[in-house]
Amino acid sequence: PDTKKDRSPREVQRLWQRPWLRTAGLGAGLVLTTLLLWSNLGAEDGVTEVLARRGEVVAGRFIEVPCSEDYDSHRRFEGCTPRKCGRGVTDVVITREEAEQIRSIAEKGLSLGGSDGGASILDLHSGALSVGKHFVNLYRYFGDKIQNIFSEEDFQLYREVRQKVQLTIAEAFGISASSLHLTKPTFFSRINSTEARTAHDEYWHAHVDKVTYGSFDYTSLLYLSDYLEDFGGGRFVFMEEGANKTVEPRAGRVSFFTSGSENLHRVEKVHWGTRYAITIAFSCNPDHGIEDPAFP
């Protein structure tokens, strides 16, 4: 349901500047406002189905879709390379408390920098951190000061959460967890409504992970903030002709999917507030594997 705190001030102001809405009876006006906002939120990107709403707790939801041919142009790994493709959502793998703790890691790291545009990246594996219009290696740039920012417990929690996500993906697709190799880029993202300054800030374009990154076979997102509580816009959208499907972020929610063209996707622009998430990607090719980050 739509409530006042769900609306951005700009949305409300825009609606009430319309003369016909101001002159309508208060009761009718409120009904019309609610309907307009609800249809506005639902109609963006042509979304016709919500796979997971923010307000519900999803124990486990999986939708199988036919695999694309993207995997054929890469080396295949029997028992891992997707033959069963699809997308899943669960709210019972990572607790909201764990999500809050993981978010604090992102907040601490991103407090050291941040993009001039709307999208900031923190990669604990490579050390990549958005600073202004560029990236720096936070381990080299800040040196020993990093030990005052993060703790060993932060990195331990990061590993534990990654392992839970890996097991969830393996179980959903009927493969061995040991056949999945963490791959790059695996990173935190912080998105707000600031205007994009560089191409790195333009996070909203539709793309295919397998095409974009090559190493990706399975992609996951762990959301660290709540849609319509912490931010507006910013939903995750699976692009399908005439029938887009969306996932509404909820802290602790894990959304995962095979990385080929069967799961073309994009993120809506964030209109207000701040959206935190972590992208965790896996490859079937051990040559593309990366280690968990170690406390410096």
Separation of alpha carbons 1 and 29, rounded Å:
17
pTM of the model: 0.84
Are residues 216 and 150 in contact, defined by beta-carbon separation less than 8 angstroms?
Answer: no
What is the rounded CA–CA span in Å between residue 106 and residue 185?
15
Catalytic pick among 162, 235, 253, 275: 275
Could you give the CA distance from residue 141 to residue 129 in angstroms, rounded to a whole number?
Answer: 10
CATH number of 48-288: 2.60.120.620
**CA atoms in the 13 A half-sphere facing the CB of 50:** 14
| C-beta of residue 214 within 8 angstroms of C-beta of residue 264 | no
pLDDT given at position 296: 84
Compute CA distances 195 → 207, 232, 267, 269, whole Å. 21, 15, 15, 10
The span from the CA of 245 to the CA of 252, in Å, is 20
Q: Which residues contact 204 (CB under 8 A, 6 or more apart)?
A: 266, 267, 268, 269
Give yes or no: 275 in active site. yes
Between CA 234 and CA 50 the distance in angstroms is 14
Q: φ, ψ for residue 32 (rounded to 5)?
A: -65, -40
Residue 104: partners with Cβ closer than 8 Å, 6 or more residues away: none
What's the pLDDT score for residue 148?
94
Q: Please count the other Cβ atoms lying within 10 Å of the Cβ belonging to residue 163.
A: 13
> Each residue's pLDDT tens digit in the chain (296 positions)?
444 344 444 443 443 344 333 333 334 444 333 333 433 444 455 667 999 999 999 999 999 999 999 999 999 999 999 999 999 999 999 999 999 999 999 999 999 999 999 999 999 999 999 999 999 999 999 998 999 999 999 999 999 999 999 999 999 999 999 999 999 999 999 999 999 999 889 999 999 999 999 999 999 999 999 999 999 999 999 998 878 999 999 999 999 999 999 999 999 999 999 999 999 999 999 999 999 999 98
**Res 26: pLDDT:** 39
**How far apart, in whole angstroms, are the C-alpha atoms of residue 254 and residue 60?**
10
Distance CA 123, CA 272 (A): 24
Name, in order, each residue with C-beta under 8 angstroms of 183's C-beta and a sequence gap of 6 or more.
213, 215, 216, 281, 282, 283, 288, 289, 290
Angle at 41 between CA 38 and CA 43, to 5 degrees: 100
C-alpha distances in Å from residue 27, one per residue of 12, 13, 22, 47, 227: 16, 18, 11, 29, 27
Determine the pLDDT at residue 48: 74
pLDDT at 27: 43
Return the pLDDT at 47.
60
